Amino acid sequence: MANVKGAPKGARTPWQVTRSVWYAMFMREALSRTMADRMGWFWMIFEPVAFIGIMVSVRSFIRGGRLVVNAEFIPWLIAGLMGFMLVREGMLRGMGAIEGNSSLFAYRQVQPVDPVIVRVFLEGALRSLVFLIFIGGGLMLGLDMYPDNAVRVMGAWLSLWSLGLGLGLFTSVAATLVPEIGKVIRMFSLPLMILSGVIIPLNSLPHWLLKYLMLNPIPHGLEVLRLGFFENYQVVHGTSMLYFWLFTLTTITLGLLMHLRFVDRLKAK
């Protein structure tokens, strides 16, 4: 194949350079995430297990019986919790990516957006593996964890992964330029779990409150994810993947624009 006119022989294209940077950073992040901390894998699995155990105990003590229409409570909770953690970790891990890789910005090929994308991708891959472990473990324990519509489950999972990327791109810039924003976001992550319908079915809430809670895009993705596991599940009124994707694409676009606008300040941090 002929070389591009004026290009040095053997020169790599911008995409090839970017791909090499992402691969090198991915391997660096993967080794750091899984090997540097011997307890890393333990906490990735133990945290949701402990949370699920506590919530099942509390809800059984308070109310008991079936709590979700046309869905078993434990699989319903697992699906919601795993989906929420995918978004939350994408947002929080992306937020610390720039500061954690600041030494790499001495290389002109590395841009502040690169570690954010790589971290969110890695976190999504790890969370996907943990989710598969939970599905397999649930099936062995006799739980109804086999999805009725696997394609819908995968589509909803990738959608939540994309939302985590958009939030990570946005918060990485905001928290780097204004550190106090990062502290507020971390504090808000627990209330966000409750407001996203991870623990309590939002259908049980009054309509006047529900219409405000559904401005949050996360419940839309979680409800579709749960619907993929239980085909007769009654999703929350107002669930819309169109709204979800409009919000997600807007967040990704805004995050990328912020990275372009403040690239010099991010490198100087």
Residue with tokens 């259908």: 203
Q: Pick the closest to residue 25 from 82, 102, 84 (CA basis).
A: 102
Return d(Cα 7, Cα 54) in angstroms, integer: 62
Return d(Cα 85, Cα 2) in angstroms, integer: 48
- pTM value is 0.88
Q: What is the pLDDT of residue 33?
A: 75
Q: What is the pLDDT of residue 45?
A: 77
Q: Is 12 helix (H, G, I), strand (E, B) or coil?
A: coil
Query: Dihedral sign, CA of 242, 247, 251, 253?
Result: positive
Joined tokens for residue 222: 């979680």
Counting Cβ atoms within 10 Å, is residue 234 exposed (0-12), middle (13-18) or buried (19+)? middle
Percent of the chain with pLDDT over 70: 90
Residue 149 pLDDT class (50, 70, 90 cuts): very high
Whether residue 71 contacts residue 226, with contact meaning beta carbons closer than 8 Å, is answered with yes
Residue with tokens 């598969």: 132
* pLDDT surpassing 60 at residue 267: yes
| Phi and psi, residue 18, nearest 5° | -60, -40
Return d(Cα 180, Cα 175) in angstroms, integer: 7
Helix (H) or strand (E) holding 161: helix 150-177
- Give per-residue pLDDT as tens, 50-83: 877 787 776 665 554 456 778 888 899 899 999 9
Return d(Cα 96, Cα 118) in angstroms, integer: 12
Residue burial 214-226, b: 16+ Cβ < 10 Å; e: rest: beebbbbbbbbbb
Opening angle at CA 211, ends 84 and 215, nearest 5: 45
- Give per-residue pLDDT as tens, 154-207: 999 999 999 999 999 999 999 999 989 988 998 988 889 889 988 888 888 888
Helix (H) or strand (E) holding 80: helix 73-95
DSSP code of residue 28: H
Non-local CB neighbours of 175 within 8 Å, separated by 6+ positions: 95, 96, 181, 182, 185
Joined tokens for residue 231: 């085909």
The C-alpha torsion from 97 through 103 and 108 to 113, rounded to 10°, is 10
Average of per-residue pLDDT across 237-252: 95
